[in-house]
Amino acid sequence: MEKKRVEVAVGVIEKNQKIFVCLRSKDQHQGGLWEFPGGKVEAEEDVFSALKRELKEEIGIDIHSSTELMRIEHDYPDKAVCLHIHIVTEFAGEAHGAEGQPSQWVAISNLHELDFPAANKAIVERLQAAQKE
């Protein structure tokens, strides 16, 4: 049986050398772990449109632009994900857990202290490596 494949638009929201992260609900896939906000790319959407929609719904911001950071393909036991990770620095509104989820701004240098899903660890590594350059 072939695993379900999910395309996901992920926003790395950056402001003042800090990144906005949210805590996944216990009842979600990979629940109880921190994540970079975003969500599923619907069939009729491109990645930027999905990112714009998801970030408005999830953290209440309107993004003006994004820059692709990287793409990650990861196999979990129950599904395969393709994460389209974009850096977002130009946005309107104050990021917050618009769906009631805990959220916070975290210094890039401290991101490794949080528990992220396995697929997100490469994002943390890339952000911290870039900061040291």
User: pLDDT tens digit string along 99-130?
Assistant: 999 999 999 999 999 999 887 889 999 999 98
Strands (DSSP E) found in the chain: 4-15, 18-23, 34-35, 38-40, 62-63, 67-75, 79-88, 91-92, 103-107
| Ranges of the chain whose pLDDT falls below 70 | 1, 29-30
The rounded distance, in Å, linking the Cα atoms of 17 and 15 is 6
What was the pLDDT predicted at 24? 87
What was the pLDDT predicted at 60? 98
Does the annotation list 102 as a binding residue? no
Number of domains comprising the chain: 1
Does the annotation list 11 as a binding residue? no
> Which of 69, 41, 89, 73 is CA-nearest to residue 129?
69
**For residue 72, what is the domain's CATH number?**
3.90.79.10
What was the pLDDT predicted at 11? 98
What was the pLDDT predicted at 127? 95
Task: Give the domain range for residue 102.
Answer: 4-132
Which token pair is 75? 């196999």
Burial class (CB in 10 A: 0-12, 13-18, 19+), 110: exposed
Which token pair is 45? 């959407």
Does the annotation list 112 as a binding residue? no
Does the annotation list 38 as a binding residue? yes
Does the annotation list 90 as a binding residue? no
What was the pLDDT predicted at 29? 64
Does the annotation list 120 as a binding residue? yes
Does the annotation list 35 as a binding residue? yes
